[in-house]
Amino acid sequence: MKKNNGFIYLQLAEKIQQMIAGGVYAVGDKLPSVRSLHQDHGISISTALQVYTHLEKKGWVEAREKSGYFVHYSHNVRPQLPPVTDPLPTPGKVQINEKLAMFRKTSQSQKTISLIGAAPDTSLLPSVKLKKALQLCARELDTSYIPYGDITGHEPFRRHIARHCLNWGRAVSPNEIIVTNGAIEATTLCLRAVAKAGDTIAIESPTFFGLLLAIESLGMKALEIPTDPVTGVSLDKLEAAFKQKKVQACLFVTNYNNPLGSCMPDNSKEQLAKLLQQYQVPLIEDDVYGDLHFAPERPRTVKSYDEEGLVLYCSSWSKSIAAGLRIGWVIGGRYHEKIAQLKFMSSASTGLLPQLVLTKFLDQQRLDLHLKSLRQTLNMQTMQMTKAIQEYFPVDTQLTRPNGGISLWVVLPPRVDTWKLHEAAVEQGITFTPGSLFSSQPRYHECIRLTNANPWNDDQEWAIQTLGRLIGKQL
């Protein structure tokens, strides 16, 4: 049935789209149900479904299982994506420790509105259920948590980790897992297992400064590989480095890289696994953000395609349950025994009480339900921040479009110095992370990393608006 040269569902879809664009419905708002459209507009259920299917294809709305339809800011009107990065093609020393120390001191010098965050805000995490798990442990435990624990970790906890690994496509035995003091210890142990001082590690560009610090502390060099803000590290450039024998190992965050938010497609992960096998180069895969996917399906890992034990898989629940418990793990493949020896030498074992609390929590709770809620919230907060950046930042700002994780990478006009911008922002009570902290090279001075980890509110929007005004002063 047509009306005014257009289908009824198209007319209604256009009306809803105009309401979204006009701000009647904000990013993350729930839209009227299919039944409401059916009743209020006198259309069939199937026509009402066509309305939302059309808007979903255009990127204006998203369907959430058993929850309905929500505003999803259109990709067509988002800022332009940053280009593939272009780092220097030569290895170099990593020297960011002093710069990072200065940044921390400045950022923590006074109370600020934070646009940074290493993990989701505590209001988004299962603090009540964790407290209950802690109380149960306190009632049930005798003195079993006081002695040193097993070097590889509490076995019931390792069983939970092994079950969780099925989500990214690998059947893992608890005996393959070593529990660590967070993912950073896992990564550092792996670096020590596969390389020595003076060796070169291939990394994404940009990459998380914590990984750069680990490389720096071990006296290793870094070779930054060009990285696409959507699909991750360039496999062609990486293979060229393999052929020239430039690197001894790789260290990548293949799912929702911090800070780009890039996610390597599964077929590229399979191709990377084959390259590692062909050139016999180990990969340390940091997958701390893999569970924070916005799409229905969790991305796989390179480890899921690993046939020769060359992938050393590191992860934790710091980004989804509790960072303060400092619990991570590593699946070391052919390097398992060496990592276990290094673990014993560095910290003997990981604290048993945090493992017992997490085990009790995982025994009692449905982790998948918590993760589903957390992912939906982070997705909504990403859209809200994206909309604010478009509204308040210069029109030529470039911005990533992550489908998971907690990072947004913003590329400002070249004239902007983000260290000076940070100084000005701190004076206004705002803090963010300058882009140059994410590289071992003199790069990304015009870039900043923002985070979707904090609940969106008036303070957050004011901070983005104020940043936009401060950026304008430099132009």
Among the CATH numbers 3.30.70.1290, 3.40.640.10, 3.10.50.40, 3.40.50.20, which is that of 125-367?
3.40.640.10
Q: How is residue 169 written in tokens? A: 């496509």
Provide the CB-side half-sphere exposure for 412 (13 A, CA): 29
Neighbours of 126 (CB within 10 A): 21
Residue 466: predicted pLDDT: 97
d(CA 468, CA 473): 9
CA atoms 228, 79, 295, 126: torsion sign: positive
Q: Identify the DSSP state of 24.
A: S
Residue 438: predicted pLDDT: 97
Residue 109: predicted pLDDT: 60
Determine contact, residues 53/410, Cβ cutoff 8 Å: no
Identical topology for domains 81-86+95-119+372-474 and 125-367: no
Residue 218: predicted pLDDT: 97
Residue 330: predicted pLDDT: 98
CA angle 63/67/73 to nearest 5° reads 40
Global pTM reads 0.86
Q: What is the pLDDT of residues 299-321, one digit of tens each?
A: 999 999 999 999 999 999 999 99
CATH number attached to the domain at 2-76: 1.10.10.10
Residue 316: predicted pLDDT: 96
The candidate with the shortest Cα–Cα distance to 279, out of 305, 234, 249, 302, is: 249
CA atoms 89, 93, 99, 103: torsion sign: positive
Domain 81-86+95-119+372-474: top CATH class:
alpha beta
The structural domains of the chain, with segments of one domain joined by +, span 2-76, 81-86+95-119+372-474, 125-367
DSSP string of 230-278? TTEE-HHHHHHHHHTT--SEEEE--BS-TTT--B--HHHHHHHHHHHHH
Q: Which residues pair with 106 in a beta bridge?
A: none
Residue 374: predicted pLDDT: 94
The candidate with the shortest Cα–Cα distance to 405, out of 296, 321, 292, is: 292
The parts of the chain modelled with pLDDT lower than 50 are 1-6
